[in-house]
Chains A and B, each alone.
Chain A
């Protein structure tokens, strides 16, 4: 592909559609939309080659608010729609916008297989730990004990970690960010866009109406440095307002929090997002606030052939071997005979 084509210089407002945005005031979705619009002009992908696919839920209105191609699908099926689109049109950059209920409950099967196959999609999972559109039922990521419309006495349903699921399914890219952490979210989105393969991004998103403040630990200016570990590839896991706390593995191989001053820097756990073995990334995905500080950023980014790429190259190989199919010869195949 020639890179010498001059792309028109676009700005975020060129990616805004003419549709009135219908999210509730102060919904975290606004910030995510703004950051996505901000990175789109810089991807080197022409606007007409971008497609946003979504399922059902508050987050899934996203495609309507962007002036790209878009499909607002049915509940849970966005990864499957996007997989078909990407297989048919590998030249497109396809984004999936989904939520915790959409991706992990009704659409669990599709997200699992899209990750396993490493379809070259960019998946943004807005995790607000609640069903917003249907007005406040608990979701597969709601914490135990949460009181919602469908759990008036508290949820007894064990939640799952989206990143642990993704890494368990073999994700080649898995990251987490927070809706209103503008710089961090921009960085993660740019990394996801640049990843060759399935980029799975969990974004903590505040549902201002039904689950307000669920992610205060990661947004509160005074507390977030102590509650979160901002991952950097090749660097030790150090956190805290004073940057005096670190993570190391104890004798049993489990992460433990230590005071940095007391130990040698080299004893700390170093973050290697490119490690072939996913065990450490999986361990990071299991570190959840409030039981432990919670990692944010890119947990895993490894190179592996994409499914759509493999499908295309297999077709090319068969074509190179057999030549273009001869329809008349195909129809005239099998057991044939002539009637005179």
Chain B
């Protein structure tokens, strides 16, 4: 039963295609939870959804301060969407600081719902407002403002449950959520279910949150403040079973699947770092899936313990973010030199140094490519969306064990924490990843040759415990075939070339570069990583306006797909939008001598579709 059916005087229900909502408030206001719940009920209802959580770097920034504002934006739609939206339709602001930092993204005429109880003198001062913005005519005339006494109404709703005032106030996110549920005609049942589940051991908290949620729904329903409410019909996604997934979840699920695909245990080593820690958390729960996790003493120990595990025959993975990857550099070089399979996940964040720990950026491509001493090439892959993290994790493992090489998998804070609907695969439909360990020493009585290569230049993965295959490997240059230490000049040149050629050979084992749009024309937009959704939306929009624009999104960054050079030369111009100062562009120019132009943003935020559309226009006119 929808809330509308209960209304004494039903308000008109308008159908709209898609809506962007942002919940924002203090870190302690439960905005991430409200956003996640809204996403879940929308996904279960059948909308396409895309989310953008945004939280402060400081866990305990002073309450009410501008630094402590936490937000969660989501777009839900009746058609396929790739981004959480440029501009916000409905902004829920729980305090003055949240209003101040977020109002700029609400479009003119948009709906603004504020907790007016939080606009007292001290909160206004903490947000550096000298006068109450709710009385400011620039705000009241520009937006549809709803001042709701959420704190008071929530306290009233939970009265009699014996909660302290502090505990009562913690329920107001559910009040806000209930109100927005009413506004967008959402079914609150999945959230009720979640609350009962979550607070099963604390029934008074369950009851309080349920009451707050209902109070919010009732507020929308019974006050005349909202003239209409809206409905966003389900999207027409391909039939099948779906779940909501974040990029970090998808990585963990892929690693828990890998033992079944490889027949080997997975060893994951990490050190706590934002925004990669969730991978370690989630995998640590999956001990019955053939996954061993190790929280190492530092980033260097994380990568080197993974190398030790790989030597022992495990499917080894280490994950981190920029600063941690920088520390792992020497270890990654050891994996290149010893030619052991290893996947290094880099959940990129704003840099350099500590940079913007909770904000997204894609500025580690050159670090992954070149951030080691010596000529030290390795394959590099990048996931394009939360769900794609699953696919690319398995792909990275396939290449690592297939070519006996460390492989970089780049994701970013945006797809790591952002969520999208994901068509759930079946284990039986996933490709096995063949792993071979030689079991017998050479029959002719010769000693085992650890660097004797096959036709792809791949050496055997012989593991301890196999009699007759005892051998030593290490970081010192070695003679090909025997693996014995060798400083010989010619040998070093030979080995350097062999290591590079082996990585280049991966190009034959990856798909050709697909292009969305015309096969030749005025402009090719080339992107990689988490910008996929925004770039795909912008290029599609440009084509709809009659422009000759195609989109090539790279998931394989080293080696590049074999046909990429040809693709680049099929267009008059090449535009490379990136959330960095031009790293892929540099690689494309260097590799293909193509005069690619850049569109670059480093603000810790994803691209807006609108800014890409105008960058495309500029590139076409230039």
Contact = CB atoms under 8 A, between A and B. Distances in A.
B576 interface: no
B330 interface: yes
Contacts of A332: 241, 243, 424
B316 A84 contact: yes
A242 interface: no
The 7 lowest CB-CB distance pairs between A and B, nearest first, are A72-B474, A84-B305, A84-B308, A325-B289, A85-B308, A70-B472, A88-B309
A183 B424 CA distance: 64
A109 B300 CA distance: 10
A244 interface: no
Contacts of B208: none
25 contacts: A19-B484, A51-B311, A70-B474, A72-B472, A73-B307, A74-B334, A77-B301, A84-B308, A85-B311, A87-B267, A87-B294, A87-B305, A87-B309, A89-B313, A92-B464, A110-B301, A112-B297, A311-B294, A314-B287, A318-B288, A327-B289, A328-B427, A335-B43, A337-B243, A339-B240
B308 A315 contact: no
B242 A83 contact: no
A262 interface: no
Contacts of A112: 297
B89 interface: no
Interface string B468-507: 1111111110000000110000000000000000000000
A88 B447 contact: no
Contact of A80 (B243, B257, B296, B314): B296
A77 B300 contact: yes
Nearest to A329: B427
Given A48-B468, A318-B287, A89 B475 contact: no
Chain B contact-residue range equals 35 or more
B230 to A, nearest CB: 21
Nearest to A339: B237
Contact of A81 (B241, B305, B425, B464): B305
B484 A337 contact: no
A5 interface: no
B46 A49 contact: no
A71 B463 CA distance: 12
A85 B265 CA distance: 13
A277 interface: no
A323 B288 contact: yes
Interface stretch (A36-44, A60-68, A216-224, A245-253): A60-68
B277 to A, nearest CB: 19
Contacts of A328: 426-427
Given A87-B267, A333-B243, A72 B473 contact: yes
B310 to A, nearest CB: 8
Interface of A: 17-19, 46-51, 53, 56, 63-64, 67-74, 77, 80-89, 91-92, 109-110, 112-113, 311, 314-315, 318-319, 322-325, 327-328, 330-340
A219 to B, nearest CB: 30
Interface string B313-350: 11010000000000000110110001000000000000
A331 B255 CA distance: 11
B256 A330 contact: yes
Contacts of A322: 288
B244 interface: yes
A87 B485 CA distance: 28
Residue among B300, B306, B484 facing the most chain A CB atoms (10 A cut-off): B300
Contacts of A110: 297, 300-301
B5 interface: no
B416 interface: no
Contacts of B473: 70-72
Contacts of B288: 315, 318-319, 322-325
A69 B297 contact: no
Given A82-B308, A324-B288, A331-B253, A77 B331 contact: yes
B267 A74 contact: no
Interface in B237-257: 237-245, 249, 253, 256-257
Contacts of A340: 239
B352 interface: no
B189 to A, nearest CB: 12
Nearest to B253: A331
